[in-house]
Amino acid sequence: MTIDELRSGHIFLIDKPLNWTSFDVVNKLHWHIKRAFDVKAIKLGHTGTLDPRATGLLIIGTGKATRALTAFQNLYKAYIGTLKLGASTPSLDTETAEDEWLSTLSITEESVFEAAASLEGEQEQLPPPYSAIRQNGKRLYELARTGKKTITKPRKICIYSFKIKQVAFPFVRFSARCSKGTYIRSLARDLGKALHNKGYLTELRRTEIGRYALRDALSVEQALEVLSP
């Protein structure tokens, strides 16, 4: 691949590694391109931010293709993951330690399936306190990590499907397909609430963004090889 091709615009599908931010991936590729092609500047951007504890499909554009990235924002997203019932964390995932607990002895496998089905459809979802939403110019996760109180407002989203794949208490394997703006961490919390209990996300992998699929994505290492003269 040439620098002219990258500047003209190219879309890359990347499998984001665990504990990397979406910006970490962009920054890694950006630095590599500038060094490999000995250029001072080239545009790179991404769409569909993934949390550090999530893995999977991330769409990255170079050069003129960065202008088209907004078109990807309205595409549905699909995920597979695991949540834990009977406990919660401030971040609603494993970034923070458990701080609330409830017994799951009264929860049946059938009730988990019923609760998941009840969460499908259009709804207003409350984003997690640890999120990229801005409050007074600061990201909520930045405020939350310093112990400051964050305020979130419900957002209209749609859960097209929320399917339970396996129940092994207290863990539940699931797949979900949803609209833009959906937080799967919030969906894990909401399943807990629907069961009059607690819930948080322990594992998440994005498998689709519209017609783009994880099976076609490159690892970061593979992308670095492609992005070389």
Which candidate in 15, 51, 93, 190 is catalytic?
51
25, 9 contact by CB (below 8 A): no
The DSSP code sequence of 49-88 is ---TTEEEEEEEEEGGGGGGGGGGTTS-EEEEEEEEESEE
186, 155 contact by CB (below 8 A): no
Concerning whether 51 is annotated as a catalytic residue, the answer is yes
> How far, in whole angstroms, is CA 87 from its chain's centroid?
21
Only one residue has tokens 């797949």, namely 175
Using left for φ > 0, alpha for ψ between -120 and 50, and beta otherwise, residue 111 falls in alpha
Q: Which residues are catalytic?
A: 51
